[in-house]
Amino acid sequence: MDEDETETRDLIRSELNSEQRSVDARFTIDPRLVNFRLIETLLGPKGMGFIDRQLEALPPLPDWQHAVRLGHIYTRTLLAWCELNEVPTLRTVLNEGVGRIFCSVETVMPCPEIYDEERVTSLIRLDGFEDREVALEYSTELVTSSTTKMELANGDEEAAIALFDRREGERLIFRPLVIGGPWLESQDEVFPDEMAMWWSHHFFENFIEDIDEFTAVNDTPPVTDFSVMSQIREKAFKQCLAEILGDRVQADWGGETSDHYSAHVHLRGRRLTAAFLLKGPAHFAPMGLNHLGKNNDQIYRLAQEPAQLLVVQHCNDILPAVRSTLRAFAVQPGYPRRYCLIDGRDSLRLLMAYDKLDKALAISGK
């Protein structure tokens, strides 16, 4: 999985340009398991009214096409319900210890018995939650796609909306309302649908060169030796970051959910709010999940910010598990947020591009 994460990140950065990566795309689910009865129970008469009106507008269709449309209508309406009710990701549910429903993209572990059993359980991989176990329990007859059946048998990343059913010991068991492929759509001419469909939920990662306020890094060559970052304290980087963004430095306090919050960040000219988690050289080593508190609580707190862009910065390398965890909190079907990781190399490039390196070193030496 770590090699796949690194390869995908490198492809996004090399195969797509900043303009393409910054397109305002739509993130949804291609439904391949839909529990119609459970969705109707959840939505109730008012929600079903929206579905009924969409069904009435359907033209006469062959049975197979009608079934596909039906699945999409139920899924689209359920996603709208999730956004309206601010349904959280699975990791948010686990961190808060409350909530009966989640909507997120998760890594589902192999379940080969899906080909032989009428009812199966698929475990969800939860990096950083070693003390938790979460499973999806479902009837195999609900899986209408042979592709999805193969993915569930072998293990893969799936978009899911699921309702809590019960607890068995340390295992939390959810019943899926929808399972399907993470699906990206774009109407932008620089990133049309035929290109968007290949990138899925990985698309929402941005890099420092994509942020309008950081574009001077394009004139600064990549660095290989970033050892000087071991001398730059977190407060120094924060001061320089605020100056680059034209922000005031925010004082630290015990209840903060991020280290810096800005309303002065733009992607492709589009203004976004951004929340930053900054990590200095107290441990000048690659950042793993063990640097982010129990159950990734620092990323969880970052994700609670009302920000459209979540940024994790570190003075050294950032390991793939951190990237996948940040994405799991940020990129939600129906309501995707942008995320960005600024490692030691990019941190140094940013300081050099805006002539802030000497200042950062001076502040750190005080």
Q: Which residue has the tokens 């640097």?
A: 291
DSSP, res 285 = S
CB crowding 216-246: b at 16 or more within 10 Å, else e: bbeebeeeeebebbeebbbbbbbbbbbebbe
Q: Which residues pair with 295 in a beta bridge?
A: none
Sheet with 338-342: list strands edge to edge: 205-206, 338-342, 309-314, 270-279, 260-267
Q: In this predicted structure, what is the pLDDT of residue 254?
A: 55
pTM of the model: 0.92
pLDDT tens-place values along the chain, 366 residues long: 566 777 888 889 999 999 999 999 999 999 999 999 999 999 999 999 999 999 999 999 999 999 999 999 999 999 999 999 999 999 999 999 888 999 999 999 999 999 999 999 999 999 888 778 999 999 999 999 899 999 999 999 999 999 999 999 889 999 999 999 999 999 999 999 999 989 988 899 999 999 999 999 999 998 999 999 999 999 999 999 999 999 998 776 656 789 999 999 999 999 999 999 999 888 899 999 888 888 788 999 999 999 999 999 999 999 999 999 999 999 999 999 999 999 999 999 999 999 999 999 999 997
Q: In this predicted structure, what is the pLDDT of residue 265?
A: 96
Q: Residue 326: CB partners within 8 Å, gap ≥ 6?
A: 299, 310, 312, 339, 341
Residue 60, H or E segment: none
Q: In this predicted structure, what is the pLDDT of residue 93?
A: 94
Q: In this predicted structure, what is the pLDDT of residue 127?
A: 86
For CA atoms 6, 12, 17, 19, the dihedral sign is negative
CA distance 18 to 220: 16
Greatest C-alpha distance within the chain: 75
Residues in the chain: 366
CB 121 within 8 A of CB 137: yes
By CB atoms closer than 10 A (0-12, 13-18, 19+), residue 158 is: buried
CA distance 201 to 9: 12
Q: In this predicted structure, what is the pLDDT of residue 129?
A: 82
Q: In this predicted structure, what is the pLDDT of residue 282?
A: 83
Q: In this predicted structure, what is the pLDDT of residue 2?
A: 66
